[in-house]
């Protein structure tokens, strides 16, 4: 993961200026609805970056730990925490193994728009399953698999590969990883998750009933316990 680490280290300042520069926390009604009632829960913000997702979770009442591999992104997260304390703990580490955390450490895990930057999806999902308590939940959002970020509809949808973004921006690394939707579903199933809800959304201000291809995909999943229905 050294490559991914250096990639976000290099854009950390521009990223923080572009997304939540005041440190108020992410505003995403779809994500917040999928997270639901989390007051009093221990929740991990996976690949937390400069902490906007962690601050959303804290605003919802969770006890939050954020983990990211980029020390530069975490520097911004800790700066916001120092300016407006929300009792968030930030840890430097690799989401592919989550080595800093013991098994069954968290009630829930949230990963907002970051799984596309992770080289080993299977290892990451297995690690999420390991650190969740029995019956714990995992909510994530990604660029819709029909797209390459940004705005290019895929012609090689079934190919699992690292790609160069067609429309680069200066606050994101130039590369990401595409997987077909089936890859996400199958890895979740192998790790013992069941899918509870899925949302497909247009990015930006398009009306909810707009046609065409959705830009974002959100999902709420839960760890199966024994012979629970749907497992």
pLDDT for position 211? 59
User: 109-131 burial string, b = 16+ CB within 10 Å, else e?
Assistant: bbbbbbbbbbeebebbbbbbbeb
pLDDT for position 150? 52
Q: State the maximum Cα–Cα separation within the chain, in Å, rounded to a whole number.
A: 48
| Mean pLDDT per 10-residue segment, the chain (231 residues) | 65 96 96 97 98 98 98 98 98 98 98 96 98 97 77 75 81 91 97 97 58 84 72 62
pLDDT for position 2? 41
Q: How far apart are CA 89 and CA 222, in angstroms?
A: 24
Strands (E), 32-74: 42-46, 63-68
Beta bridge partners of 216: 143, 201
pLDDT for position 110? 98
Q: What's the distance, Cα to Cα, between the start and end of the chain in Å?
A: 32
Ranges of each domain in the chain: 2-143+179-223
CATH class of 2-143+179-223: alpha beta
- DSSP, collapsed to helix, strand or coil, labels residue 78 as helix
Q: How far apart are CA 229 and CA 220, in angstroms?
A: 16
């Amino acid at each position: 993961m050294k490559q991914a680490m250096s990639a976000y280290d290099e854009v950390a300042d521009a990223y923080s200026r572009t997304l939540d520069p005041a440190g108020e926390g992410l505003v995403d009604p779809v994500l917040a609805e999928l997270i639901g009632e989390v007051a009093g829960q221990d929740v991990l913000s996976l690949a937390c970056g400069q902490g906007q997702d962690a601050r959303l979770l804290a605003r919802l009442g969770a006890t939050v730990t954020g983990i990211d591999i980029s020390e530069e992104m975490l520097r911004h997260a800790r700066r916001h925490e120092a300016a407006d304390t929300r009792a968030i703990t930030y840890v430097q580490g690799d989401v592919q193994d989550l080595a800093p955390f013991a098994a069954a450490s968290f009630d829930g895990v949230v990963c907002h728009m970051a799984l596309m930057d992770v080289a080993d999806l299977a290892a990451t999902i297995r690690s999420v399953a390991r650190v969740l308590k029995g019956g714990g939940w995992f909510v994530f959002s990604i660029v819709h698999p029909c797209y390459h970020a940004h705005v290019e509809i895929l012609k090689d949808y079934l190919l699992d590969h690292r790609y160069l973004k067609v429309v680069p921006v200066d606050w994101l690394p130039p590369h990401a990883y595409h997987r077909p939707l089936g890859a996400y579903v199958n890895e979740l199933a192998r790790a013992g998750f069941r899918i509870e809800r899925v949302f497909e959304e247009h990015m930006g201000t398009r009306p909810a009933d707009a046609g065409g291809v959705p830009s974002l995909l959100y999902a709420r999943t839960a760890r199966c316990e024994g012979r629970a229905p749907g497992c």
